[in-house]
A and B are shown apart, each in its own frame.
Chain A
Amino acid sequence: MIMKAKKKNSLQQMYTIPKKKKSLRQILKKDMSLWMFCIPGIILTFIFSYIPMYGIQLAFRRYNAKAGIWGSEWVGLYYFKRFCESPYFVSTIRNTLILSLYGLIVSFPIPIILALLLNSFRHKKYRKVIQTVTYAPNFISTVVMCGMIILFLSPYVGIVNNFLKFLGMDPVNFMANKKYWRHIYVWTGVWQSTGWNSVIYFAALSGISPELHEAARCDGATKFQLIRYIDLPSILPTATILLIMSCGSILSVGFEKAYLLQNNLNLTVSEIISTYVYKVGMINNDVSYSTAIGLFNTLVNLVMLIIVNKAADKLSGNSLW
């Protein structure tokens, strides 16, 4: 995506007459008003994104509220060692990885399939209805979504258990059983976001020129072949980029939903890195330790992103940069 912009720029540079180089001051003066446009954003982003980055050194210091960040004692890698040695190291990382890989495997292909089916669907009006309805859950807030999950699966009044009773089975306390937790987490995610995630593929599909389809039809291609040989290859670049992006965030499973679906009985599978960071930092007030775990998480994500991006570049020629 950025590549294209670059190409355009270099083309423009080639065809414009080289101007005399201006001094930095002249350039700044010319663009003064545009720089002014950027200033509010730059200041706010600097305060709330870059100063916290500087504050990461808390991970290497023993935080002392009185002395402040800079006055706190330097302890080096102490907190990283502590995290590596704690029983939570293996369990939180494993939970996070399983949850996100499971989620990725399930929720990556389903929107693509939905978009392909919708695109080849003949009844335009019915298609519109399906799209409108499947997008809707995306706008339900996480809190309401989790409230729905807990109520639906409740052992006393939940509709799922009522249904099981109707079939003559014993009611199951889904939220208290750690066997089910991951499935609940992932499949409710699929329910909520599949429709919305398919929009981007649908947009890419509607960009395919209809002549391609017509030509293939004239040559006797079946609908399945149209999908296999025209539709699928043409959304592959979009899919690759999205896959890279989601691999980059493989260790950053969202805090919001996991935290709301946690209870003491399923904690062994539901404690993920982000919820652990929150509990350590905000509830136990172990500021430095929490920062260290957070930093560890960010670094792993960054490395993952770079590796996957390289791999995708080698394999398919699509990459983020």
Chain B
Amino acid sequence: MKKEKSVQALKHRRTKRCRGDVIFDTVTFIILTVVLLIVAYPLYWVVISSISNPSAVSSGEVLWRPIGFTLKGYSEVFKNKAVMGGFMNSIIYTVCGVLVNLAVTLPTAYALSRNNFSGKKPVTIFYMITMFFGGGMIPTYLVVKNLHLLNTMWALFLPGCLSVYNMIVARTFFQSNISEELYEAAEIDGCTQGKFFFKIALPLSKAIIAILVLYYGVGHWNSYFSALLYISDKERYPLQLVLRNILITNEAALSQSASTEAARAALREKQQLMDVMKYSLMIISSIPMLAIYPFIQKHFVKGVMIGSIKG
């Protein structure tokens, strides 16, 4: 092993970098650094703006570091009942949604991963059709309405309880990690499929469960469209819908209603505080994602790789 490595190192040294390569490396370095800055700067700016003095932010003084450190924006957010309620709702919706997603996706994926399963083809086709053809917004809405699910959290996650893409990722994982022989061995010892799934297959599949939890969880936390359709009771708004009202609808109202000079000045001051609050709000709403991001990054990438074997 050691010998091999040293041989490789020698080879590397022998193939000298020619001038073209040096230019190539430099250009790559510059391009990637520019990309890094373009992506990172807006994110960084939101963070420093959220802890800066409101008037400094709107006058454009805040560029590289926070000016006039204050946590006014954050305290404003915590005072806001709608935001806190939405935050709690979103947590509940996300947790319940993910549980339902897992309860539906994992067994289906497991069954479809068994080679001798007679339903493999029909069930796969059953799901493939939904990928390319669907009823659309209104017919789905009517079904939800007729089942009396409007204004309940079930409307948010039952219609999309199984994402075909995630199911395929899980199926591929089961196919390559839970072998048929393992089941045969367990069967000889008197194990049923159900028992095998819960006692042996699931404990061996922690990686894929983590990936699914993250895929579905991020989806639930970030979505607002289904809530916009199905939830009209303000008490039950998820965080994203509350955010929409504050971040997007309010902005338009404030900038339009300024007519006289005095009113404009007063409004501008109010708007400045509002803006800083918005930056704080963006950060607070992203905290759950930020907290699990290091964890996410590893698993998300793994999930894409499992998926890419198929696609």
Complex Cα gap A121–B21 (Å): 11
Q: Which residues of A contact B275 (CB under 8 A)?
A: 151, 157
Complex Cα gap A37–B11 (Å): 54
Q: How far is the CB of A191 from chain B (nearest CB, A)?
A: 7
How would residues 87 to 120 of chain B score, 1 for a CB under 8 Å from any chain A CB and 0 otherwise? 0000000000000000111011011101111110
How would residues 34 to 77 of chain B score, 1 for a CB under 8 Å from any chain A CB and 0 otherwise? 01101110110110000000000111100000000000000000
Complex Cα gap A76–B94 (Å): 42
Q: Which residues of B contact A36 (CB under 8 A)?
A: 194
Q: How far is the CB of B259 from chain A (nearest CB, A)?
A: 15
Interface size on B, residues (CB 8 A): 101
Chain B residues 19 to 35 lying within 8 A of chain A, measured CB to CB, are 20-21, 24-25, 28-29, 31-32, 35
Chain A residues 140 to 164 lying within 8 A of chain B, measured CB to CB, are 140-144, 146-148, 150-152, 154-157, 159, 162-163
Complex Cα gap A141–B219 (Å): 9
CB contact between B137 and one of A147, A218, A294 (< 8 Å): that residue: A294
Complex Cα gap A165–B60 (Å): 10
Q: Is A142 a contact partner of B111 (Cβ separation < 8 A)?
A: no
Q: Which chain B residue lies CB-closest to A286?
A: B138
CB contact between B139 and one of A56, A157, A255 (< 8 Å): that residue: A56
Count: A-B pairs, CB below 8 Å: 270
Q: Which residues of A contact B218 (CB under 8 A)?
A: 139
Q: Which residues of B contact A37 (CB under 8 A)?
A: 107-108, 110-111, 193, 197
Complex Cα gap A36–B57 (Å): 59
Q: Is B142 a contact partner of A55 (Cβ separation < 8 A)?
A: yes
Complex Cα gap A69–B132 (Å): 24
With A53-B139, A141-B224, A147-B278 already in contact, the answer to whether A223 and B134 are too (CB < 8 A) is no
Q: Which chain B residue lies CB-closest to A123?
A: B29
Q: Is A141 a contact partner of B271 (Cβ separation < 8 A)?
A: no
Q: Is A44 a contact partner of B107 (Cβ separation < 8 A)?
A: no
Q: How far is the CB of B261 from chain A (nearest CB, A)?
A: 14
Q: Is B139 a contact partner of A120 (Cβ separation < 8 A)?
A: no
Asked whether A250 is an interface residue with its Cβ less than 8 Å from the other chain, the reply is: no
With A143-B224, A150-B248, A150-B251 already in contact, the answer to whether A282 and B104 are too (CB < 8 A) is no
Asked whether A189 is an interface residue with its Cβ less than 8 Å from the other chain, the reply is: no
Q: Is A156 a contact partner of B137 (Cβ separation < 8 A)?
A: no
Q: Is A42 a contact partner of B224 (Cβ separation < 8 A)?
A: no
Chain A residues 247 to 266 lying within 8 A of chain B, measured CB to CB, are 248, 255-256, 260, 263
Asked whether A135 is an interface residue with its Cβ less than 8 Å from the other chain, the reply is: yes
Asked whether A112 is an interface residue with its Cβ less than 8 Å from the other chain, the reply is: no
CB contact between A277 and one of B136, B255, B305 (< 8 Å): that residue: B136
Complex Cα gap A30–B192 (Å): 11
Q: Is A49 a contact partner of B114 (Cβ separation < 8 A)?
A: no
How would residues 168 to 181 of chain A score, 1 for a CB under 8 Å from any chain B CB and 0 otherwise? 00000000000000
Q: Which residues of B are interface residues toward A (Cβ below 8 A)?
A: 11, 15, 18, 20-21, 24-25, 28-29, 31-32, 35-36, 38-40, 42-43, 45-46, 57-60, 103-105, 107-108, 110-112, 114-119, 123, 126-127, 130, 132-144, 147, 158-162, 192-194, 197, 218, 221-225, 229, 240, 243-244, 247-248, 251-252, 255, 268, 271-272, 275, 278-279, 282, 285-286, 289, 293, 296-297, 300-301, 304-305, 307-308, 310-311
- Top-5 shortest CB links A-B: A52-B135, A162-B60, A147-B247, A55-B139, A294-B136
Told that A51-B135, A122-B25 touch, could you supply 9 new A-B pairs with CB distance under 8 A?
A30-B118, A37-B197, A40-B108, A44-B158, A50-B130, A53-B135, A143-B222, A143-B243, A224-B24
